Structure 1
Amino acid sequence: MKKGEIMYSKAILEKIESLPEGEPFKANLFIEIAPYASIRKALSTLVNSGYLMRVTWGVYVRPEISRYAGSVPPTSGKILKLMAEGEKITITGAEAAQRLGLSTQMVLKEVYLTSGRTRTIKLENGGTIFLRHASPRKMALAGRLAGVALSALWWM
């Protein structure tokens, strides 16, 4: 390892240690510290050593350690919040109806509506999160209880 890469690795590790455990972060968080190739190499080394967990492409986390379950991955909500910066995200109508007690149908796939593009997020633990684009009028009340009720009504 070159001297510059060691300095970059130390700076990246210090920044990671300042982040709370269990809080996911993107690799581009370190772009002011080091070149992207050095960032990828440092993160890869930390993942291989077990210090970091790779959640999905470009997203990592310093896992919380539970004495019962070992390392605990971040929740889907935390991952979504990070992946969809600048977008509105809300639950689908089926999930909204189930949460409001209007339906007993359980939703098995994690599907969310977004103001951004439709995409699939494949998680390292084998899970998948689906983001489906929705029209602006369906996203107008996203993040509010009225938006949940409106999603449920549209679904019914």
Structure 2
Amino acid sequence: MGRKKFQALIEERIDEMQLGSVFVTSDFVNIAPTAAINMSLSRLVNAGKIRRILRGIYDKPRFSKLLNESIAADPSKVAYAIARKNRWSIIPMGDTALNMLRLSTQVPVGWQYVSDGPYKEYSYDNIHISFRRTSNKESTGYSYMTGLIIQGIRALGKAHVNEAAISTLREQLSSEEKKALMDEAQGTTAWIFDYIKEICEETGK
């Protein structure tokens, strides 16, 4: 398959993506060799069709008519693209987890994740993303929501998980997610699991 064909196939896949999508070189390995992918993506960057956020991390930018400029890439999408590129398992932690769970309205100053990879920090467009190395017990083996709930409770702290927080978390979970949460979280810290049992209680009966 020739270089032009690789370029066309990569462009076609990107055209099908939604605006704001974040992707990495390895997302195209079923289309072309790595060298050809890098060359094709560089051409698209130079043509202004995509944007290079970090090394090996790109997005299909959204444009704000109000600001008359492209909008910064979503930090959560960038974090998961970095994790995908490096084959890490990650879970939002701290203020990031609280924000995603609607337990805090404050936008995080820095986006934080626990990871089974090394400690790393990245910055782009005045946005800071950090990954904190932790045990596999904290970052792997969970569904996304289970991991997020555990980190959210941990971020609140044992003395600050009140009925309002429990209700907010309970309302976000489907019956299937509650079942998964109870099954997956049994090995977590005892006080966190006590709150998880409250979150998963059936109410209104």
If the TM-score is normalised by the length of the shorter chain, which range does it land in?
0.7 to 0.9
- More helix per residue: 2
RMSD of aligned C-alpha atoms?
3.1
**Aligned partners of 2:19 and 2:62 also within 8 Å:** yes
Distance in structure 2 (CA, Å) of the matches to 1:7 and 1:138: 44
**CA distance 1:60–1:41, shift in 2 (3 Å):** same
**CA distance 1:58–1:81, shift in 2 (3 Å):** same
**Aligned partners of 2:90 and 2:113 also within 8 Å:** no
- More strand per residue: 1
**CA distance 1:128–1:147, shift in 2 (3 Å):** closer
- What is the CA deviation profile of residues 66-111 of structure 1, one whole-angstrom value per residue up to 9, with x for unaligned ones? 2122211221111112222451312227975xx757xxx9963333
Who is 1:113 aligned against?
114
**Aligned partners of 2:92 and 2:148 also within 8 Å:** yes
Structure 1 residue 147, shift from structure 2 partner = 3.2
| 2:64 aligned with 1:66 | yes
The secondary structure found in structure 1 opposite 2:53 is: strand
Who is 1:87 aligned against?
89
Correspondence for 1:25 among 9, 23, 26? 23
TM-score, L = length of structure 1: 0.76
**Aligned partners of 1:114 and 1:133 also within 8 Å:** yes
Structure 1 residue 30, shift from structure 2 partner = 1.3
Distance in structure 2 (CA, Å) of the matches to 1:56 and 1:43: 13
**CA distance 1:36–1:118, shift in 2 (3 Å):** same
Distance in structure 2 (CA, Å) of the matches to 1:121 and 1:60: 14
**CA distance 1:16–1:100, shift in 2 (3 Å):** closer
Q: Which piece of structure 1 moves more, 126-135 or 47-56?
A: 126-135
Distance in structure 2 (CA, Å) of the matches to 1:87 and 1:77: 14
TM-score, L = length of structure 2: 0.60
Structure 1 residue 60, shift from structure 2 partner = 0.8
Who is 1:128 aligned against?
128
| 2:53 aligned with 1:55 | yes
Q: Which piece of structure 1 moves more, 125-134 or 18-27?
A: 125-134
* Count of paired positions: 148
Name the amino acid aligned to 1:29: D
Q: Flag structure 1 segments of 5+ consecutive residues without an equivalent.
A: none
Name the amino acid aligned to 1:42: S
Distance in structure 2 (CA, Å) of the matches to 1:37 and 1:68: 38
**CA distance 1:100–1:33, shift in 2 (3 Å):** closer
> Which protein, 1 or 2, shows the higher relative CO under an 8 Å CA cutoff with sep ≥ 6?
1
Structure 1 residue 15, shift from structure 2 partner = 0.9
Structure 1 residue 122, shift from structure 2 partner = 3.4
Identity %: 24
Runs of 4+ in 1 over 4 A off after TM superposition: 93-96, 136-141
Q: Flag structure 2 segments of 5+ consecutive residues without an equivalent.
A: 161-205
Structure 1 residue 5, shift from structure 2 partner = 1.4
| 2:39 aligned with 1:41 | yes
